[in-house]
Amino acid sequence: MTARRLLIDAGNSRLKWAAVEDGQWCAQGCCDYGDLAVLKAQLTAGTVCFIASVTSVAHEQRLAALLEAADIGVLWLVAEADFGGVKNSYQNPLQLGVDRWMGLIAARRRTRGPVLVASAGTAMTVDALSAAGVFLGGVILPGASLMRRALQQGTAHVSEGTGHWQAFPRSTADAVESGIVAALCGTIEQQLARLAEAAGDVPLCLLTGGDAGMLLPRLTAPAEHVSALVLEGIDCVARERESR
């Protein structure tokens, strides 16, 4: 009988999770590291936990203590050289962020064509996967919140405030927000064009992460919003591990 699985995507700013029973996702949610009560309620007997973490050591220690207290078996995932038809071409495969690796695995399960995976979180990563399943490489840049903070801290006249996207902004707050969106969308579109040229085909673009909804309407190229892409990848790995 397959054990109950708990999948955890431990990001920089928050934690996403999904509970799996009899092969089906039966519950799903997200929480801040300061309040893990909702996650604690999922820690039932017989649960096996699979974690992909890019968060701080302090957050990992708190999470590990919670799971240990509940006597939950835990597997902390890492990037590998290859998995499920995906080849990791990073110079040092272990240095690839495990969240990026899980996203690539999930993307491969969704399509056998070329695909670009853009994850818009605290940082934004944009990764290219060939039709042959080879991770070609990717870029990393500050996400929207980090860009806002950099402008507020590094300039004298950009203060905190909520702006809105405008084609031609006429206030500082709107100029900041529109510039951030332009930078993030521009990176995605540039990498998409590069992948299309390399592949000789139109790639699928998958968009995930907390700021995906902000970017999706501003992209000029078609993209599919997949909110739980990393969890999907963790589920793929968990199924394979349990079948061994």
What are the catalytic residues? 99
Q: Using CB atoms within 10 A of its CB, is residue 5 exposed (0-12), middle (13-18) or buried (19+)?
A: buried
CB atoms within 10 A of CB 194: 17
Residues 175 and 179: their CA atoms lie apart, in Å, by: 6
- CA-based max dimension of the chain: 62
What are φ and ψ of residue 17, in 5° steps? Answer: -145, 160
The amino acid at residue 241 is: R
CB within 8 A of 36, min separation 6: which ones?
A: 15, 62, 63, 66
The 3-state DSSP class for residue 196 equals helix
Q: What share of the chain is helix, strand, coil (3-state, %, to 5)?
A: 40, 25, 35
